Chain A
Amino acid sequence: MNLGPHGDFIVAAYAVTAFAVTALIAWVVLDYAAQRRILGDLEDRGITRRSQRKS
């Protein structure tokens, strides 16, 4: 594939997009893992939400 005389601009555009999208996905995945871990810790210590409590 020949990108012509302005190939650097095309490669840079795709690289910036890939970096930004990857960073966003990584943040979402890491945040999900963190929230799951914290929720698990709280539940292990017997802490529940009001709606989960049996009267």
Chain B
Amino acid sequence: MAVIDLANPTRFLTLVNRVLPWLAVATLALFAIGLFLAMNAPDDYQQGATVKIMFLHVPAAWLGMFGWALMSIAALGTLVWRHPLADVAGKAAAPIGATFTFICLVTGSLWGRPTWGTYWVWDARLTSMLVLLLLYLGVLALYWTAEEPGRGARAAAILSLVGAVNLPIIKFSVDWWNTLHQPASVFRMGGSTIDPTLLTPLLIMALAFTLLFLTLHIAIMRNEIMRRRVRSMRLMQAQELAEAT
């Protein structure tokens, strides 16, 4: 099967039904390994055991941003090629990205209190991440409140592209401004500054969360395709009733 064939919703559904159970099992297995390593990871020499929050906070932050990047790419598919699956992909990524951004903000706050002495500061990294959550809520509102799905999809696609400006601001905020939040410590020039005993569980947890994202994404895409079929069948039914009377 060529990749382009997957752009057909019926073929996509067939593939999803085949792949989803395997993805779910792989996700569970990776979480089991990742959580075992995270719970047995040594304490940080400065932060103590609170470093265990990093295994949730950092993957959630990455995936919160990944979700918006995915929506921006899907937005191009919606606006330029007007492909229905592109809109389905964008819409499916929004609730997952919003959930991960929420997790990132809450776990960061719970990590900040013992580490910095405060739950929240209005520094550039924290504020731009909060803006990302608000953007997600805006996109979800557009999708869920639009009377006509096509109009909602176009508005959400435009907001997705405009909101993509926030991604480099989040990423480089710790370099451009003086922030309480630490600079990049995993992916940086010169290599990671995190000890391998903490880096290994972090990367495995990140992989587990990424698989969870992908599993949920294709599951929500499947639900959305089914929801659109229901809508189209109800419209057909209404049209037939109107013609009969």
- The answer to whether B53 touches A10, judged by C-beta atoms less than 8 angstroms apart, is yes
Interface size class of B (residues with CB under 8 A): 35 or more
Residues on the B chain within 8 Å of A47, using CB: 233-234, 236-237
In the complex, whether B39 has a CB less than 8 A from a CB of chain A is: yes
In the complex, whether B48 has a CB less than 8 A from a CB of chain A is: yes
- The answer to whether A10 touches B99, judged by C-beta atoms less than 8 angstroms apart, is no
In the complex, whether B56 has a CB less than 8 A from a CB of chain A is: yes
Interface Cβ pair total, 8 Å cutoff: 92
Interface string of A1-38 (1 = CB under 8 A from B): 11111110110111011001100110110011001101
CB proximity of B225 to chain A, nearest CB, Å: 9
Q: Which of A13, A14, A28 contacts B223 (CB 8 A)?
A: A28
Residues on the A chain within 8 Å of B219, using CB: 28, 32
Residues on the B chain within 8 Å of A20, using CB: 99, 102-103
Q: Which of B40, B49, B106, B229 contacts A39 (CB 8 A)?
A: B229
The answer to whether A39 and B226 touch (CB under 8 A), given A7-B49, A9-B53, A28-B216, is yes
CB proximity of B244 to chain A, nearest CB, Å: 13
Find the residue from A20, A27, A32 having the highest chain B CB count within 10 A.
A20
CA distance A17 to B111 in the complex (A): 13
Interface size class of A (residues with CB under 8 A): 20 to 34
CB proximity of B58 to chain A, nearest CB, Å: 12
In the complex, whether B91 has a CB less than 8 A from a CB of chain A is: no
Tell me which residues from 14 to 51 in chain B have a Cβ below 8 Å from any Cβ of chain A. 39-40, 43, 48-50
- The answer to whether B56 touches A13, judged by C-beta atoms less than 8 angstroms apart, is yes
The answer to whether A4 and B102 touch (CB under 8 A), given A12-B110, A42-B230, is no
CB proximity of B37 to chain A, nearest CB, Å: 13
Find the residue from A7, A13, A31, A39 having the highest chain B CB count within 10 A.
A13
Find the residue from A3, A12, A14, A25 having the highest chain B CB count within 10 A.
A14
Residues on the A chain within 8 Å of B113, using CB: 9
Residues on the B chain within 8 Å of A32, using CB: 219, 222-223, 226
CB proximity of A32 to chain B, nearest CB, Å: 5
CA distance A17 to B43 in the complex (A): 21
In the complex, whether A54 has a CB less than 8 A from a CB of chain B is: no
The answer to whether A24 and B95 touch (CB under 8 A), given A6-B114, A32-B222, A38-B230, is yes
8 contacts between A and B (CB under 8 A): A5-B114, A6-B48, A6-B49, A6-B114, A9-B110, A32-B222, A35-B223, A49-B229
Return the 8 tightest CB-CB contacts between A and B, nearest first: A35-B226, A6-B114, A4-B49, A13-B107, A13-B110, A13-B53, A4-B48, A9-B110
